[in-house]
Amino acid sequence: MNAPTSRPLSPHISIYRWQPHMIVSILHRATGAALTVAGLAVLTWWLIAIAAGGSTHADFVTAVTSIPGTIVLVGLTWSFIQHLLSGLRHLVLDMGAGYELKTNRFWAMMTMAVSAFATALIWAMIKGVL
């Protein structure tokens, strides 16, 4: 057996402190996957329910207005807004702006805060609270 070498190792996640821009980057990927899988599933179910009409559509409406259905729809709404804002942030970064540490941290936190606020605002309007 070979003796272990003392080569440098690649940086590992334990070396880094979690930063807002890291979380937003991971959320961008996760929300994209959620929108693809869950969003397309709900959209397909809705289109089939509309095409079938009658009781099938009533079953769909009953399912999405239930508590678990509402949780899924709220999650999809948040995923869409978070993914949109994060995509806009990445577009600005791709143009070469916003790499300064304070600026990057600020806009990363703003994408999370604005997506949560916008989701709450949209669902407050849907539920008739506003």
The domains of the chain are located at: 25-126
pTM of the model: 0.85
Mean pLDDT score across all residues of the chain: 92
Rounded distance, CA 109 to CA 24, Å?
8
Q: Calculate the alpha carbon distances from 67 to 71, 83, 90, 92 in Å.
A: 6, 24, 34, 38
Which amino acid, 106?
Answer: F
In this predicted structure, the answer to whether residue 3 has a pLDDT above a threshold of 70 is no
Sorting pLDDT into bands at 50, 70 and 90, what band is 6? confident
Ligand-binding site membership of 83 (annotated)? yes
Q: Can you give the pLDDT at residue 15? A: 73
Closest CA to 112 of 70, 73, 74, 78: 78
Query: CATH topology for 25-126?
Result: 3 helical TM bundles of succinate and fumarate reductases (1.20.1300)
Summarize pLDDT for 74-115 with one digit per residue, the tens.
Answer: 999 999 999 999 999 999 999 999 999 999 999 999 999 999
